[in-house]
Amino acid sequence: MSTKSHSHNHVFFLSNPEIGNLVPTVQFAQRLLNHRPGLFSATVFIIPLPQRPLVNTFVQSLPNAVPNIRFLHLPPVDLPSPDQLPSSEIGHISLLVEKQKPHVKRAIEDLHSAESDSNSGRVAALFVDMFCTSMIDLAGDLGVPCYLFYASPATFLGFMLELQVLDPQLSSDSVTHELRLPSFANPLPWNVLPTTVLKRRDGYSWYLYHARRYTETKGIVINTFRELEPYALDSLRKSGVPKVFPIGPVIDINGPAQWHPERAQYERVLKWLDNQPASSVVFLCFGSMRSLTGPQVREIAVGLERAGYRFLWTLREPPKSKLGIPSDYVNFDEVLPRGFLERTSGMGLVCGWAPQVTILAHQAVGGFVSHCGWNSILESLWHGVPIATWPIFAEQQMNAFEMVEELGLGVKIRLDYREGSNLVLAEEVEKGVKDLMEVDNEVREKVKRMRETSRMTLMENGSSQESFRALVEELTATRN
């Protein structure tokens, strides 16, 4: 395959501005630049998102952390009045992205004309993420290949691609049976579908819209690896969708510890972990986007105390507004059972925000009670820490099902928990923690093996590295 002799190929990236999508997008861009220095240059578009101090802090750190990437801050855009705004996050984000089209188009055109004039390079691709597909039209207008960068698992991509076919079933009242999906080896229970799909909420039409557009891209780069999701990836290859490039795990190994402002908290947590025996601590963390209600927090506290294991629990207060995110409690006593902190002071630590990936890398951590966001799953496998599943929103219930029922890499606390649903009782928490922390359980052994596999797949002859090379070859190939 012939390649052009341009000095570089310019690649643009546009992602949902939430932290869970933006971080892997930046990591992917960095990996492209590091593959063969000088071959690519990269611009990552930054969509401004109000009420997201964590995102803003991360974005501010980027020019120093990854100086070889150009970060282009898009201007704020006018959205409809609050009473006309979609109530779903996906609807809100999708509208934000749609409104940015003229600005993104201008930026690509400006660079395209500058590079054409100097004959110094060409625009090789625009990568969009799962909720930015309205940009596919723009790429087509500009004659730029458009790829999907998918930061969720192959199983969920398979589900999204089947959504048009499933739609009539989903609209019926008898949503009590199981679904047969090509990307899952086992029948999928209805109750692990995303809430937006299950209840056909405001965001459901956006799910359908984006899923329909995935097939219009030139290829799908997915944050997974062949050895982790062989069944799902095989099903995608047979389905006739655009070429799939599994290049994962794409994770930020350093995590937010290097840029997050809560440095004192970070030091306190690490100092505490340094004093705990190897693999003795269960770590509880439910992600940056969600938190649990007061009654649920109290059930967890009772369950942890009964289980008797050392624990590190990042406990955060529910958001103050509909599209807000959790914040740290000023006083944990207002939500925890009376005397809990005193009784558990020798065995546990309750804190606010903490650097998840740094904690998972610590030798004292032996288990992870997780919301099953895909980034968290990949980080836990990279560090060989088994998960107990406690999904909350988005595709996390499906991720939890995959981890426990499809792959045998997780222990079940719940597969179908969601915000506002029945409480997970103290006895369920106690049992889940005990099952998770058993020294010689089968899940622990499988996760240890997957730790080695996840690292080998990125090495010279690893499956993800081969897939990555194929992507690079396609991006740099001569286009007619």
> pTM of the prediction?
0.94
Rounded distance between C-alpha atoms, residue 463 and residue 233, angstroms? 12
Report pLDDT for 18: 85
Poorest-confidence range of 212-221, 268-277, 326-335, 379-388?
326-335
- pLDDT tens digits for 443-457? 999 999 999 999 999
Q: What is the 3-state secondary structure (H, E, C) of 211-274?
A: HHHHCCCCEEEECCCCCCCHHHHHHHHHCCCCEEEECCCCCCCCHHHHCCCCHHHHHHHHHHHH
84 by Cβ neighbours in 10 Å (0-12 / 13-18 / 19+) ranks as: exposed
In the chain, the amino acid numbered 333 is D
Report pLDDT for 216: 96
Higher pLDDT, 127 or 52: 127
Name the region of 35 (left: φ>0; alpha: ψ -120 to 50; beta: rest): alpha
**In 42-189, where does DSSP find H-type helix?**
53-65, 89-99, 101-118, 135-142, 154-170
Report pLDDT for 1: 34
401 near 190, Cβ under 8 Å?
no
Residue extents of the structural domains in the chain:
9-248+460-477, 256-454
Q: Name the strands in the sheet holding 310-314, side by side, starting at the edge strand that comes first in the sequence.
A: 348-351, 310-314, 281-285, 365-370, 387-389, 410-412
Q: Hey, do 9-248+460-477 and 256-454 end up sharing a CATH topology, with the first three levels equal?
A: yes
Query: What are the angstrom distances between the C-alpha of 370 and each of 207, 387, 417?
Result: 25, 6, 12
Architecture (CATH level 2) of domain 256-454: 3-Layer(aba) Sandwich (3.40)
CATH 3.40.50.2000 fits 9-248+460-477, yes or no: yes
Report pLDDT for 385: 98
- pLDDT tens digits for 165-208? 888 877 765 555 788 999 999 999 999 999 888 877 778 999 99
Tokens of 59: 């974005």
Tokens of 165: 């076919």
- pLDDT tens digits for 404-432? 999 999 999 999 998 777 899 999 999 99
Residue 93 has pLDDT above 70, yes or no: yes
Bridge partners (DSSP) of residue 42 are 11, 69
Closest CA to 179 of 212, 155, 205: 155
- pLDDT tens digits for 388-399? 999 998 899 999
